[in-house]
Amino acid sequence: MRLHREGTPTLLLVSALVCFGLFTLAKWPVLPMPISVLIGSVLVAVLGIVLWFFRVPARPLPHDDTAIIAPCDGKVVVIEEVYEPEYFKDKRRQVSIFMSPLNVHINYHPIAGTTAYYKYHPGKYLVAWHPKSSTENERSTVVNEHPRHGKVLFRQIAGALARRICTYAREGAPAVQGAEFGFIKFGSRVDLFLPLDAKIEVALGQVVTGAHTVIARFNH
């Protein structure tokens, strides 16, 4: 299993703490054996969870110009028409995907084209499903422009546990559908803002797979 580069500092720290804890339990057995085994098992489980969190699954790149694919793994928690105030400044169809700590936290370009806009916003750490998290939490906004279908905005939003959003997309750079554009550490959310006439292909509560599930299709 390949691990994401963003996990290196966390993995080194957790590995060191786990090794220290296991060494201490083995070197100075002051606790009853059942308790030592339990603590050792918990330490190993914590390391396993961190390794699982930073996993990088192998996923083929999609090739579907009519599709807007899922930018992340998770569950669809919002499908509604909203006013988008940062970039479009008009009404859009919003689809939000909540990523639990057990999901893959890589973020993928939902459409091909060129990155037309990027901006990072420092902010709060409200729970990711809070209605105001989209405008008040730490977040990064990216807009990709497809040469035929126009623009799609997607926003990485930090959650209550997340403290770092990584965004690799930059204005003027090419965007490859399904390629990695960022990473969010721990619980978080990604919002998509689509044209009003886009045909939504998912339902509330549906579990989606990044770089694979079709969220919507362009209507032109």
Give the residue extent of every domain in the chain: 2-56, 67-217
Q: What is the pLDDT of residues 72-122, one digit of tens each?
A: 999 999 999 999 999 999 999 999 999 988 899 899 999 999 999 999 998
Does 135 or 197 have the greater pLDDT score?
197
Length of the chain: 220
pLDDT at 136 over 80: no
Given a contact cutoff of 8 angstroms between Cβ atoms, the answer to whether 4 and 55 are in contact is yes
Amino acid 129: pLDDT: 56
Question: Is 188 among the residues known to form the active site?
Answer: yes
Mean pLDDT for the chain? 88
* pLDDT confidence band for 125 (50 / 70 / 90): low
Does 5 or 96 have the greater pLDDT score?
96
The two structure tokens encoding residue 205: 């509560």
Given a contact cutoff of 8 angstroms between Cβ atoms, the answer to whether 89 and 176 are in contact is no
Closest CA to 208 of 37, 59, 91: 59
- Please compute the mean of the pLDDT values over residues 177-204 and round it to a whole number: 92
Q: What is the pLDDT of residues 146-178, one digit of tens each?
A: 999 999 999 999 866 656 789 999 999 999 999
Does 162 or 1 have the greater pLDDT score?
1
Given a contact cutoff of 8 angstroms between Cβ atoms, the answer to whether 77 and 204 are in contact is yes
Alpha helices in the chain (DSSP H): 8-27, 33-53, 133-136
Whole-angstrom Cα distance, residue 155 to residue 190?
5
Given a contact cutoff of 8 angstroms between Cβ atoms, the answer to whether 176 and 147 are in contact is no
Amino acid 36: pLDDT: 81
Amino acid at 217: R
Amino acid 28: pLDDT: 75
Catalytic residue among 96, 134, 140, 188: 188
Topology given in CATH for the domain delimited by 67-217: Glucose Permease (Domain IIA) (2.70.70)
Closest CA to 97 of 196, 193, 2: 193
Q: What is the pLDDT of residues 23-42, one digit of tens each?
A: 888 877 777 888 888 888 88
